[in-house]
Amino acid sequence: MQGKNDKDQSKHWYRVPFMWLVAILPLTAVVAGFVTLALAIHSDDGLVEDDYYKRGMEINRQLDRDKAAAAHGLTSTLDFDDAQHELRVRLNAPQAMAWPDNITLKLMHATRAGLDKTVLLPRQADGSYRMPLPDFAPGHWNVQVAAQDWRLTGSLFVPRGERQLVMRPTLP
């Protein structure tokens, strides 16, 4: 009887299956912690602005531009003309006003910033602003038409087949 107990006691710890069951959970937690640490060090989440005060001031300036568009009663219509293969922007206001010689059109993909486009559009003889029809990747697009002192924003969903987008001032 004595020999059997000595044999059981001389068994190494790594040969006991229950020991592996007890050790596997803490070991998994340690490995997962190191993987999480490596991901945190090597990835940039980009959530914190370096100069948050300046960014806040820029947001206030953008809101002032939205208010100016609302005060003028501005609206904009974007027409997607497949026949002429062009995008046409028309500005409308209830009262006569001087239209800018150039406007800025921003096409911003909601999830893929690499697809964003910013184009300066000159005013045409008929009063519209035109550019070649861009290739739109599928998804949600934010559209902004702006001059120096006002801006209009809207949303576009591709490939829903929308051929016209009417934009009005948006105020918080």
Residue 69 pLDDT exceeds 60: yes
Q: Which of the four pLDDT bands, split at 50, 70 and 90, describes residue 103?
A: confident
Q: Nearest-CA neighbor of 93 among 149, 171, 172, 168?
A: 168
DSSP 87-107: EEEEEE-SS--PPPSEEEEEE
Determine the longest span between alpha carbons in the chain, in angstroms: 109
Model confidence pLDDT, tens digit, residues 92-102: 888 877 888 88
> Domain residue spans in the chain?
2-42, 74-167
Question: What pTM was computed for the model?
Answer: 0.59
Q: Which of the four pLDDT bands, split at 50, 70 and 90, describes residue 34?
A: very high
HSE-CB at 102 with a 13 A cutoff on CA atoms is: 7
Pairing state of beta strands 75-81 and 86-92?
Answer: antiparallel
Model confidence pLDDT, tens digit, residues 109-165: 888 888 888 888 888 888 888 888 777 778 888 888 888 888 888 888 877 666 667
Q: Which of the four pLDDT bands, split at 50, 70 and 90, describes residue 37?
A: very high
Residue 57 pLDDT exceeds 60: yes
Q: Does domain 74-167 have CATH number 3.40.50.300?
A: no
Rounded Cα distance between 67 and 147, Å, is 13
Average pLDDT over residues 52-72: 73
